[in-house]
Amino acid sequence: MRLTVDELRALNARFETQTPEQILRFVKSTFGPRAALLSSMQRAGSVLAHMADAMDYALDVLFVDTGVLHDETLRTRDRLVASTRNLRVITLAPAHSFAEQTRADGVLYLTREGQERCCDLRKSAPLHTVRGRYDALISGLRRDEGGARAKVAIFALDAEMNALRVHPLANFTSAAIDRYVAKHDGVVLNPLHAMGFPTIGCHPCTTPVRADEPERAGRWRHLAGVEYCGINPTDRAGGAQDIDLDDRYAAALRTT
């Protein structure tokens, strides 16, 4: 089936008022193991992992280890592996170590153009190695993050991965995430969040954030105007493109 941008509008209208759990149940019933959760071991991904595990969803969790992550992030990954009942954490990695990349290309992240290439090599390229394995990719983007994400849809098209992007927390706020964590035991949280890091990336490009700053102010602080790495289609410029999915999804995705 060809899922078009126009059909996507109807799908989003159906789920705009649904809870994250209801959206995840729809993904489970529609895609089953052909869906995966993208997590960089931050709060939103941890909440989605907890929700999926609680509903006994045998879901793959894709984690990209860029080779320059904080130790706390890697330990959070390991804690999730040890605590989950239903999730399978799959670690993806770049083709070359950061030292090998630096010897070949220099210290890329010091310029805007270099940062884009560095993020592409160390984040996007590893994800592209599983293209075709999944038909839906779940991530924790929220509208209240601002910037390009202020208009993030619950369902979006990812032409590069030929997959449906699903954002169950699109309507969630940072305060709603805090309430979920407070209400539920067992949410595996990255300790960096308690150290002044509302969002977390690679350690050379992530700093703590003051209380009076936007939550993404600590990402690429040394590069004016850079907020995103580009691994999420929502954060990239350019219009959406149609995708091709198996015909077995047609009834669920096109029911009005």
Q: Is the dihedral of CA 94, 100, 102, 103 positive or negative?
A: negative
Over range 115-140, report the average pLDDT. 96
Q: Domains for the chain: give ranges and CATH numbers.
A: 2-190 (3.40.50.620)
Closest CA to 143 of 215, 50, 40, 64: 215
Active site residues: 229
* Structure tokens belonging to residue 166: 């699903």
Class of residue 21 by CB neighbours under 10 A (exposed 0-12, middle 13-18, buried 19+):
middle
Q: With DSSP H G I counted as helix, E B as strand and the rest as coil, what are the percentages for the chain, rounded to 5? A: 45, 15, 40
Please determine, for residue 121, whether its predicted confidence score (pLDDT) is greater than 70: yes
- 88-92 vs 60-64, strand pairing mode: parallel
Q: What is the pLDDT of residue 233?
A: 75
Please determine, for residue 220, whether its predicted confidence score (pLDDT) is greater than 80: yes
**CB contact at 8 A, 245 and 164:** yes
Q: What is the pLDDT of residue 236?
A: 60
Please determine, for residue 162, whether its predicted confidence score (pLDDT) is greater than 60: yes
H or E element, residue 138: strand 136-138
pTM recorded for the entire structure: 0.94
Q: How confident is the model at residue 194 (pLDDT cuts 50, 70, 90)?
A: very high
Q: For residue range 84-114, what is the model confidence (pLDDT) as tens digits?
A: 999 999 999 999 999 999 999 999 999 999 9
**Identity (one letter) of the amino acid at 215?**
E
Over range 37-50, report the average pLDDT. 98
| Spatial separation of the C-alpha atoms in residues 31 and 59, rounded to whole Å | 10
Q: How confident is the model at residue 239 (pLDDT cuts 50, 70, 90)?
A: low
Look-up: residue for tokens 């071991």? 41
Q: What are the φ/ψ torsions at residue 166 (nearest 5 degrees)?
A: -125, 130
Listed in sequence order, the residues at least 6 apart from 91 whose beta carbon sits closer than 8 Å to its beta carbon are: 63, 64, 65, 77
